[in-house]
Amino acid sequence: MFSYRHAFHAGNHADVLKHTVLLAVLRHMAQKDAALTIFDTHAGAGLYRLDGDYAQTSAEAAEGFLKLVATKPKEPFAPLLQDYLDLVASFNKAGSHKVYPGSPFIIHRVIQERDRDKLKLFELHPTDTKTLTANIAQLEAGRQIAILREDGFEGIKKFLPPPSRRALLLCDPSYELKTDYGRVAEMVADSLVRFATGTYAVWYPIIPRPEAHDLPKKLKTLANKAGKSWLGATLTVKSSKLLQDDEGEVIRPGLPASGMFIINPPHTLKAGLQKALPQMVELLKQDANATFTLESGG
Ligand code: SAM
């Protein structure tokens, strides 16, 4: 079974990028009254403690979300970042940062007053499914939220196109298996055939591995071939080069960068990220290689 547990990584710089973009996309889609369906093909446990054993082991949030709230930016926070920070703060007592919401809870917060919307969560890991189920039960969301202990790549097929005809799909695998990269591209290709007007948001790691390098290129090609607009945003916080300690031992740098690729993005997203991404770089940079990219097409 898989060993990836998001609890080790919750609130890291990749979550800052992913969740800021997710929230911005969803806020825009929720401006219209018409019903929405949101799919989270790799949901995780839903809610995380930043002071728990898992989080302490890697302390990744210290270089991500916790660093953002601890540092005063030169300028006020960009609106998209402020919205993300406010949303995370709403899960905590004033001034405390112990709880971090994963994508299911971020999504639910936006749609909770909209009974007509539906949220479908896929999670395959038995322990995470159990925790997710217990966490979601506290929301008393009834039939608005469904948890499926299924392979998200396959399970999504039966739901597309959704009756609502308006939908956002977040695809956020752990990429623990090399095959995940290919499966993401296949799922997006298949989904665009089934439901071309959906909004698709894919997170991916930027690491020195050919499959990772190729994925955003493949997604761009798929969007262009389908004649759909797209937006790609990346955040790099440090160099990906391997370092050596004083004894010559190789130090693994940890995740240096990640990206979000969105097909059929809201037209407001690029302008919002143009303000938010430089601030993420300023506040989360770990060395002189920190940077962002933002491109769009279609
Ligand atoms: N989306 C979550 C968030 O932002 O809070 C984090 C998800 S985490 C990066 C990826 C999750 O996918 C893990 O919990 C893992 O157990 C689960 N997983 C792995 N392979 C899967 C599959 N084929 N289908 C559904 N879930 C899977």
Q: What is the pLDDT of residue 254?
A: 87
> Of 22, 130, 174, which is best to mutate to test ligand 1, by the most ligand atoms within 8 angstroms of its C-beta?
174
Phi, psi of 81 (to 5 degrees): -70, -40
Q: Parse the chain into domains and list their residue ranges.
A: 6-297
CATH number assigned to the domain covering 6-297: 3.40.50.150
Q: What is the pLDDT of residue 261?
A: 98
Is 172 an active-site residue? yes
Token pair of 55, please?
Answer: 């989080």
CA distance 41 to 262: 15
Q: Which among 75, 76, 103, 72 has a CA at the least distance from the CA of 87?
A: 103
Mean pLDDT of 24-52: 96
Atom 1 (ligand 1) nearest CA: 43
Q: What is the pLDDT of residue 134?
A: 97
Quick: pLDDT tens for 151-183. 999 999 999 999 999 999 999 999 999 999 999
Q: From the alpha carbon of 19, which atom of ligand 1 is closest?
A: 4
Confidence of residue 54 (pLDDT cuts 50, 70, 90): low
> Of 42, 133, 148, which is best to mutate to test ligand 1, by the most ligand atoms within 8 angstroms of its C-beta?
42
Q: Which among 49, 247, 211 has a CA at the least distance from the CA of 131?
A: 49
CA–centroid distance, residue 14 to ligand 1 (Å): 14
CA–centroid distance, residue 113 to ligand 1 (Å): 26
Atom 12 (ligand 1) nearest CA: 42
Atom 9 (ligand 1) nearest CA: 174
Token pair of 106, please?
Answer: 């971020």
Sign of the CA dihedral with 84 first, then 86, 91, and 97 last: positive
Q: From the alpha carbon of 46, which atom of ligand 1 is closest?
A: 5
Which residue ranges have their beta carbon within 6 Å of ligand 1? 2, 4, 6, 18, 40, 42-44, 102-103, 122-125, 128, 151-153, 172-174
Q: What is the pLDDT of residue 58?
A: 63
Least confident of 3-7, 34-38, 115-119, 229-233: 3-7
Least confident of 138-152, 211-225, 236-250: 236-250
CA distance 21 to 81: 9
Strand (E) positions, 123-256?
145-148, 167-171, 199-206, 230-236, 243-244, 250-251
Least confident of 34-48, 59-73, 144-158, 282-296: 59-73
User: How many Cα atoms are found within 13 Å in the side-chain-facing hemisphere of 40?
Assistant: 28
User: How many Cα atoms are found within 13 Å in the side-chain-facing hemisphere of 159?
Assistant: 25
Quick: pLDDT tens for 116-159. 999 999 999 999 999 999 999 999 999 999 999 999 999 999 99
